[in-house]
Amino acid sequence: MISQNINMNYLIDNDIISIPNEPITISENKSNRMIKRMMDIVGGFFGTLLLVPLTIGIYIANLIVNDKGPIFYAQKRIGKNGKIFTIYKYRSMVVNADKKLNRYLKENEEAKKEYEKYKKLKDDPRITKVGNFLRKTSLDEFPQFINVLKGEMSLVGPRPYLRREKKDMGDNYKVITSVKPGITGYWQVNGRSEKDFKERTSMDVAYVHDQNLWFDVKIIVKTVLKIFKREGAI
What pLDDT, in 10s, does the model give residues 69-113? 999 999 999 999 999 999 999 999 988 888 888 888 888 888 888
Q: Mean pLDDT, to the nearest integer, of 124-131?
A: 90
Confidence class for position 142, pLDDT limits 50, 70, 90:
very high
Residue 98 belongs to some domain of the structure: no
Confidence class for position 227, pLDDT limits 50, 70, 90:
confident
Residue 80 belongs to some domain of the structure: yes
Amino acid 233: pLDDT? 55
**pLDDT digit string, tens, across residues 9-56:** 444 444 444 433 433 334 457 788 899 999 999 999 999 999 999 999
Residues 6+ positions from 22 with CB-CB distance below 8 Å: 5
Percent pLDDT > 70 in the chain is 85
Q: Mean pLDDT, to the nearest integer, of 125-141?
A: 91
Lowest mean pLDDT segment, chosen from 96-100, 128-132, 175-179: 96-100
| Residue 192 predicted with pLDDT over 80 | no
Residue 179 belongs to some domain of the structure: yes
Lowest mean pLDDT segment, chosen from 6-15, 129-138, 174-183, 186-195: 6-15
Confidence class for position 1, pLDDT limits 50, 70, 90:
very low
Domain that holds residue 172: 2-92+127-229
Amino acid 154: pLDDT? 97
Residue 101 belongs to some domain of the structure: no
> Residue 27's beta-bridge partner residues?
none
Residue 204 belongs to some domain of the structure: yes
Instruction: Give the total number of structural domains in the chain.
Output: 1
Rounded to the nearest angstrom, the gap between the alpha carbon of residue 171 and the centroid of all alpha carbons in its chain is 20
Residue 107 belongs to some domain of the structure: no
Residue 185 belongs to some domain of the structure: yes
> Residue 154's beta-bridge partner residues?
182
Amino acid 193: pLDDT? 63
Residue 174 belongs to some domain of the structure: yes
Amino acid 5: pLDDT? 41
* More confident site: 107 or 7: 107
pTM: 0.80
Q: Mean pLDDT, to the nearest integer, of 189-209?
A: 86
